Structure 1
Amino acid sequence: MSSGRYRVLASPAPVVDLVRRRREPVVVRTLRSTAAAVLAYLAALWLSGNAQPLLAPLTAVLVVQVTLYATLTLGVRRIASVVAGVLIAVGFADAVGLTWWSLGLLVLVCLSLGHLLHLAPWVEEVAVTGMLVLGVGGQRTEAVGRVIETLIGAAVGVLLNAVVAPPVYVEPAGEAIKDLAARLRLLLLRIGDELVHAASARHVAAWLDEARRLDHQTADVDAALARAEESLRLNPRGRPALGARLVLRGGLDAMEHCAVGLRSLCRSFADLAELRTDENPLYSGEVAAELRHLFGHLADAADRFGRLVTAEVAAITAGGAVPAAAQLRQELARALAQARAGRDRAAALLRSESDRDPEVWELHGALLALTERLMNELDIDRRLRASPTADRPEARRRRDRTTLGGLLRSLRSGELRRWLGGRVDPSRNWSFGRSGR
């Protein structure tokens, strides 16, 4: 019995992995496309009378996307492209028939019409359909059959996503922001550790390369957030998670600015390294130790910020409080307070360094200013108060719909609750991003 139990647990790895990843976009689209192709083929056999209606499953596979909104829009464009190609081909067949010049003219007209009607990514489908219909002499039965199979395939693809609603990709977007914050944390820790071990120009070049790579991950996070926002559109599962869009967009905005600030910080270190000789480190002794503490606290703040985004998103999608969120808010506030205290101590030491070497005072000032910018970006309320239009009513209303700190004001005023159709409990403590100072 024991051996049988272990045989069950030792299921094929691909099957187990597929079940574990069933909510990932690639897996979702693969399974839905397979089901849509089979259903479209069966429906076309019954409705079209064609013995091999392969255009219907082909259309279903091309139309089905990971979100209902994308499936619907692509389905409409696919149908429009086929109908346009059929109509053009029938007109050409009646007028001139199939010749080398009529074929070239047909392709030119079909592609031009596809671009004019904004049928991307199905612009080429207009020409393909036109050539196929023209090749059989523009027969009405062939043209009508092609349109019918396309309609069946598109309808099956759209209905499948409408009946079996696709998942909402809000939580993966939150995880992507948390991963970006984790990479930001690792780079800050690395800078601090290497500063106390006689960091040189070689180390600074590696920091700068890593900071630049953060930009690529930021673009990936932005794509994940765009997919999450699209998955909420027309999706019945997405209504409870509408408020998470505000948290995610505000979190990504803060992470983008932190990545830019950190890259500028590394650039300042690179400028400072040019003034040092190969034997002299960037900083040493008490200055290097204090900068290590400063970057350590900044790393903690970035980590807590990313985890807090994930916790708040989980709270919104689950419709209840997440105990870890309150603790993360406190830890974020504490890390920011410690970072500001460390910045003040580092400023005093760097001022003494500048007195001894006036040539570097500007770079020291840039270093302190950039660390302050990182702290301000992680402290959302402080960044909002610093906006020159923060007190304008229109600006505040726009900000409340698009940023993290505005959640609190929106919930107090009841505006966000009305926008979400009463799905948000105003009694909850939405103080995301507050520093607690």
Structure 2
Amino acid sequence: MNSTPPAGYRKKPSPAGPAPTPPHDMKNALTRLKPRLHRPDRHQVVQSLKAAAAAIIAWALTGWWLAAPMALMAPWAAVALVQGTVYRSVRTAVQLVLMISTGTLLAAGVAALTGNTMIAMVIVLPLTTLLGNLAPVGGQGLYASTTALFVLAYGSYSGPAVGHRLLETLVGAAVGVAVNAVVLPPVHSHHVGALAAALPRDSARLLRDIAEGLEDYDTPRAEQWHQSAEELLAALSELYVGRGWDSESFRLNPGRRLRRWTPAPSTDWDPVWARVANRLLALTLTLWETAAEDRSLPRPPAPALDELGRLLSAAAEACEACRSLMVDGVGPESQDRRNAVLAEGFRALAAVKGQLNGQGPDAGAALGSLIADCQALLDDLTPSGGDADDGAPLPRA
């Protein structure tokens, strides 16, 4: 069959533009994007709606009722001042009004003296930008230079214009603070309580996973354990930040006695979980090194791993019992449960110490490192006179 095209045949040009994206490429892109998206929590939804409501109220007061010529300043300030706590709204309001007033007055004064917008910008913008960076006002320093720029760009630096701009800023600031303080004033105890309760739960989950996988663990699994221990430390840092928000949310909060709220677990437990997380980080690192073929630490013998698994299972149960004590309060049932599983853990510790006899130098070093980490872990979970509850100390191995 002749494949030569007939005379006069002209190939149809391909459509311009990039080729359409294959469906599987679009699906892969959505898959990569999905972990970055999350459903907003209740606090985010409430604060967003409050900010929108504050902007609408501020606009209605200045733009509709007062018929102000620059009503944009009021909703702009109102949105910015619906902060995560009432105290932060008040503090930010003072900073914002101070920066906007400074930028407005400085721009209006220099423009009036020079009579030239360009010259006024050259003088004012460096000064307001430097002031915003040097003043202890955080991110509000940006408002000094941006407000000065608006004043000069729109030529609104007459006496009445400056007065309207400052009045509208004050109205917006008052509306934003009032809405945040009166309508469901934010309290962060629930969030902190969830973060605190997650630490013993995740520690117990990791300990159980290690205990169940000690029989035949390999490098990828040991690496995954170590990454989980690092995530515990990251969660602990998040808890510290959350406790700061929780404490701040009760300052200047008029609704702290009216709203129902559950107090967060005591901060006395935070050092306990900090120590536990660090023990797990060291323990999983040693397991990772004993699983790696390019490291000189050998895997502990099977009998020792069996006793280590029993020890770590007991430590996981102790974490769960401590979680009950931390969340629900001190009770004899939770105390008895914790004391029983810790006693089991110390018996397993004594048994695994007996496996040290007859080990070579390298095997003894690997097993000894694991034993030291496990003994410290049990000590961290054992109550003493200065711990978070009044449980009696247990005998050590």
TM range (shorter): 0.7 to 0.9
Matches within 5 A, 1:63-78: 63-78=81-96
The CA distance in 1 between the partners of 2:332 and 2:41, in whole Å, is 28
Kept in 2: contact 1:308–1:325 (CA 8 A): yes
Residue ranges of structure 2 left out of the alignment (5+ in a row): 1-38
1:176 positional shift? 1.1
2:382 match = 379
Matches within 5 A, 1:236-255: 236-238=254-256, 244=263, 247-255=265-273
> Per-residue displacement from partner, 1:9-33 (whole Å, max 9, x unpaired)?
xxxxxxxxxxxx9983212211221
1:24 match = 42
Query: Could you say if the C-alpha distance between residues 22 and 216 of structure 1 is closer, same or farther in structure 2, counting changes exceeding 3 Å?
Result: closer
Alignment partner of 1:381: what SS? coil
1:340 match = 346
What amino acid sits opposite 2:343 in the alignment? A
1:395 match = none
Alignment partner of 1:234: what SS? coil
Query: In the alignment, which of 266, 289, 307 is matched to residue 284 of structure 2?
Result: 266
Kept in 2: contact 1:225–1:248 (CA 8 A): no
What amino acid sits opposite 1:203 in the alignment? R
The CA distance in 2 between the partners of 1:69 and 1:137, in whole Å, is 33
Q: TM-score, normalised by structure 2?
A: 0.79
1:186 positional shift? 1.6
The CA distance in 1 between the partners of 2:82 and 2:151, in whole Å, is 25
Kept in 2: contact 1:23–1:167 (CA 8 A): no
Matches within 5 A, 1:247-396: 247-274=265-292, 282-312=299-329, 325-349=331-355, 351-352=356-357, 355-379=358-382, 381=384, 384=386
The alignment yields a C-alpha RMSD, in angstroms, of 3.0
What amino acid sits opposite 1:294 in the alignment? L
Matches within 5 A, 1:73-152: 73-135=91-153, 136=155, 138-152=157-171
1:190 match = 209
Query: Could you say if the C-alpha distance between residues 327 and 164 of structure 1 is closer, same or farther in structure 2, counting changes exceeding 3 Å?
Result: farther
Higher helix share: 1
Alignment partner of 2:252: what SS? coil
> Per-residue displacement from partner, 1:380-424 (whole Å, max 9, x unpaired)?
536x4xxxxxxxxxxxxxxxxxxx63xxxxxxxxxxxxxxxxxxx
The CA distance in 1 between the partners of 2:197 and 2:241, in whole Å, is 15
Kept in 2: contact 1:232–1:239 (CA 8 A): no
1:370 positional shift? 1.6
The CA distance in 2 between the partners of 1:58 and 1:162, in whole Å, is 18
Kept in 1: contact 2:298–2:366 (CA 8 A): no
Structure whose CA Rg is larger:
2
**Percentage identity across aligned positions?**
24
> Per-residue displacement from partner, 1:157-188 (whole Å, max 9, x unpaired)?
21223333514221321211222222221211
Q: Does the alignment pair 1:207 with 2:225?
A: yes
The CA distance in 1 between the partners of 2:110 and 2:95, in whole Å, is 23
The CA distance in 2 between the partners of 1:281 and 1:361, in whole Å, is 9
Query: In the alignment, which of 162, 170, 174 is matched to residue 155 of structure 1?
Result: 174
Query: Could you say if the C-alpha distance between residues 69 and 362 of structure 1 is closer, same or farther in structure 2, counting changes exceeding 3 Å?
Result: same
1:153 positional shift? 1.0
The CA distance in 1 between the partners of 2:197 and 2:312, in whole Å, is 18
What amino acid sits opposite 1:44 in the alignment? T
1:92 positional shift? 1.0
The CA distance in 2 between the partners of 1:122 and 1:199, in whole Å, is 53
1:360 positional shift? 3.0
Query: In the alignment, which of 185, 189, 197 is matched to residue 166 of structure 1?
Result: 185
1:434 match = 391
Q: TM-score, normalised by structure 1?
A: 0.72
Kept in 1: contact 2:276–2:377 (CA 8 A): yes
Runs of 4+ in 1 over 6 A off after TM superposition: 239-243, 275-278
Kept in 2: contact 1:59–1:153 (CA 8 A): yes
Kept in 2: contact 1:211–1:262 (CA 8 A): yes
Matched positions, count: 354
Query: Could you say if the C-alpha distance between residues 276 and 50 of structure 1 is closer, same or farther in structure 2, counting changes exceeding 3 Å?
Result: closer
> Per-residue displacement from partner, 1:248-284 (whole Å, max 9, x unpaired)?
4232332222111111111222333357999x98244
The CA distance in 1 between the partners of 2:157 and 2:295, in whole Å, is 79
What amino acid sits opposite 2:391 in the alignment? R
The CA distance in 1 between the partners of 2:72 and 2:294, in whole Å, is 70
> Per-residue displacement from partner, 1:277-299 (whole Å, max 9, x unpaired)?
99x98244322221111111111
The CA distance in 2 between the partners of 1:380 and 1:72, in whole Å, is 42
Alignment partner of 1:121: what SS? helix
What amino acid sits opposite 2:384 in the alignment? D
What amino acid sits opposite 2:376 in the alignment? R
What amino acid sits opposite 2:374 in the alignment? T
1:86 positional shift? 0.9
Alignment partner of 2:373: what SS? helix
Alignment partner of 1:118: what SS? coil
Query: Could you say if the C-alpha distance between residues 234 and 372 of structure 1 is closer, same or farther in structure 2, counting changes exceeding 3 Å?
Result: farther
Q: Does the alignment pair 1:224 with 2:238?
A: no
Query: Could you say if the C-alpha distance between residues 277 and 132 of structure 1 is closer, same or farther in structure 2, counting changes exceeding 3 Å?
Result: closer
Alignment partner of 2:45: what SS? helix
The CA distance in 2 between the partners of 1:343 and 1:131, in whole Å, is 70
What amino acid sits opposite 1:193 in the alignment? E
